[in-house]
Amino acid sequence: MFVVDPVCQILIFHHLILSSVSGLQVTEKKLASGEIVVLACVILVGLFALQHFGTRRVAFMFAPIVIIWLVSIFSIGLYNIIFWNPKIVRAISPYYIIKFFRETGKDGWFSLGGILLSVTGTEAMFADLGHFTALSIRLAFAFVVYPCLVVQYMGQAAFLSRNPQKVLNSFYDSIPGPVFWPIFVIATLATIVGSQAIITATFSLIKQCHALGCFPRVKVVHTSKHIRGQIYIPEINWILMILTLAITIGFRSTTLIGNAYGLACITVMFITTFLMALVVTFVWQKSVLLAAMFLVFFWFSEGVYLSSALMKVPQGGWVPLVLSVIFMLVMYIWHYGTRKKYNFDLHNKVSLKWLLGLGPSLGIVRVPGIGLIYSELATGVPAIFSHFVTNLPAFHKVLVFVCVKSVPVPYVSPEERFLIGRVCPRPYRMYRCIVRYGYKDIQRDDGDFEDQLIQSIAEFIQMEAGDAQFCSSESSSYDGRLAVISSRTIQSSSSLIVTEREDCDGIESIQSSKSLMLQSLRSAYPDDENPGVRRRHVRFEVAASPGMDTGVREELMDLIEAKEAGVAYIMGHSYVKARRSSSYLKKLVIDMGYSFLRKNCRGPSVALNIPHINLIEVGMIYYV
């Protein structure tokens, strides 16, 4: 479903654009097909070039344009019915479709591929369910869209019953002369509105595929702070533009594009019916017999259309098949490689027993400073940590395993940003932090993250000391217990004294906060991206509190000393390769397909916000 639907959206887009500008072929100054294609390409490039501004800037025009368009086609259809053949209203009766097949036979069945175009395209409304409610779409379709479409098609049929020679451009030929140009302008604007909805729907489908782990990482830009579904994906936008231009220039005909579009749409309907039967059985908890009856009834009617559409494969129907195969391969390879990589991480986590056996020193030299180890795992210690410890004889005195998670809300309040917990007993100075960001939150490299993290860990240390539940737990159950640390709680009850200062050039710093080597590196390599930015430097001290536990004070002092010594960000880069004993197909998928996609897609978003002077990258090869 996810494979065929984007292809269907692309072909709908082509058909809309070419159909709208083809009206210029029926004017007095008829344009050649080549000129029509050039005009369509200009509209396509302009439309895709404007996508980065977001739908919200022009969305206020969409509803008036669509309403005017629907009223226009309803009026033209009603006029044609009255003027050319009022008896056409009898076509509503199902008797005539039976008579049609009885008299035409095989030719009537073959024509279903073209008839399919009159019922497709309306399903594009349902691709926007992420932007509107299902009830609003049902009401709009049942009481506005459907009546206008039926009356318009009746009007075209009435016109063709008296002018059968004008079947190629029946819509524009049926428009009365005095209103041709206003209708043409409205048709073009309505096409742009419909194309915009289809592009946005394609972005939504790609985002859903990415959320399911079935598509390579792409940059998702949310263009609206208030409407969640309005997004922009630059990579997909330009790929769509290239595909649309290639097909438009290659086909140069609405007939061929219509054949491809009809096959793609009926395939989507066919697959959707099967998935709906699964929903009836497993989600709605209805009987299997009811689901089977539903499947047989709809598959029979859709199968007739599908069999007719398959006859058009040589005449353009091959395009959705080829594009679907390409998208399917990309999605399957990425999902397969990602799943293998995650399973390797999951099954090769460092056991807590192994860490406890090493002792608080972990069997290595614990140097001053804080090490922030980024991992996709929300529990356990990633294999990259043991790889680092095994090959290097030193690690930071305080270790924090950081996992950044995106949640489906616009913003995460500071009170719910951090989840803090321990990985090992107190002497090990190892913590876990899950940082949650909303899809509209901006992760800035301004030093606040480090300061907030230190304050959150300090608050967790104090809260843990006063919580009987934490104190009574055995060491074997440390990993996995997390607590939400509120910034309000930090400000009101923290035992840390925070002093701040700002400098304008971004080079001055508190002498005790960084090592001399790091200070010299920062002086040699200033921040060229943000010159003159006012940086905020924070220094922590433990408040003099007679009632504070000695162990808590000692741990807080170690945390502050580590912060003053410097913070290092450790990022793991894992390279997945197939084992030597693997089949040639697996080696092809992992070593070539997945490796190519991983190298050419975007890296983890968290890596883009880490100061490069503090970044340590650790590479590791996974043999799956």
pLDDT tens-digit map of 14-25: 555 656 666 555
Judging by beta carbons within 10 Å of its beta carbon (0-12, 13-18, 19+), is residue 503 exposed, middle or buried?
middle
Confidence of residue 508 (pLDDT cuts 50, 70, 90): very low
End-to-end Cα spacing for the chain? 29
In this structure, the number of other CB atoms found within 10 A of the CB of residue 125 comes to 18
Residues 354 and 305 in one domain: no
pLDDT at 440: 61
pLDDT at 528: 46
Confidence of residue 138 (pLDDT cuts 50, 70, 90): confident
Confidence of residue 509 (pLDDT cuts 50, 70, 90): very low
Q: Determine the structural domain holding residue 239 and report its residue range.
A: 3-315
pLDDT at 532: 46
pLDDT at 475: 44
Question: Is the pLDDT reported for residue 444 higher than 60?
Answer: no
Residue 616: its H or E element: strand 615-623
Burial state string for 370-394 with b = 16 or more CB within 10 A and e = fewer than 16: bbbbbbbbebbbbbbbbbbbeeeee
Burial state string for 128-158 with b = 16 or more CB within 10 A and e = fewer than 16: eebbeeeeebeeebeeebeebbebbbbbbbb
Confidence of residue 558 (pLDDT cuts 50, 70, 90): confident
Any domain includes 401: yes
Residues 378 and 285 in one domain: no
Question: Is the pLDDT reported for residue 608 higher than 50?
Answer: yes
Any domain includes 267: yes
Least confident of 21-30, 41-50, 601-610: 21-30
pLDDT at 10: 58
CA distance 459 to 443: 22
Residues 116 and 232 in one domain: yes
pLDDT at 14: 55
Residues 283 and 392 in one domain: no
Number of structural domains, the chain?
A: 2
The residue-averaged pLDDT of 478-506 equals 58
Residues 29 and 81 in one domain: yes
Question: Is the pLDDT reported for residue 504 higher than 70?
Answer: no
pLDDT at 476: 44
Any domain includes 442: yes
Residues 89 and 230 in one domain: yes
pLDDT at 247: 81
Residues 349 and 294 in one domain: no
**Contact status, residue 499 vs residue 538, Cβ threshold 8 Å:** yes
For the ranges 84-88, 192-196, 314-318, 404-408, the one whose mean pLDDT is highest: 84-88
Confidence of residue 245 (pLDDT cuts 50, 70, 90): confident
Any domain includes 523: no
CATH of the domain at 223: 1.20.1740.10
pTM: 0.71
Residues 293 and 370 in one domain: no
* Residue at which a domain ends, from 275, 297, 315: 315
Q: Write the CB contacts of 339 (distance below 8 Å, at least 6 apart in sequence).
A: 213
Q: What is the mean pLDDT of the chain?
A: 77
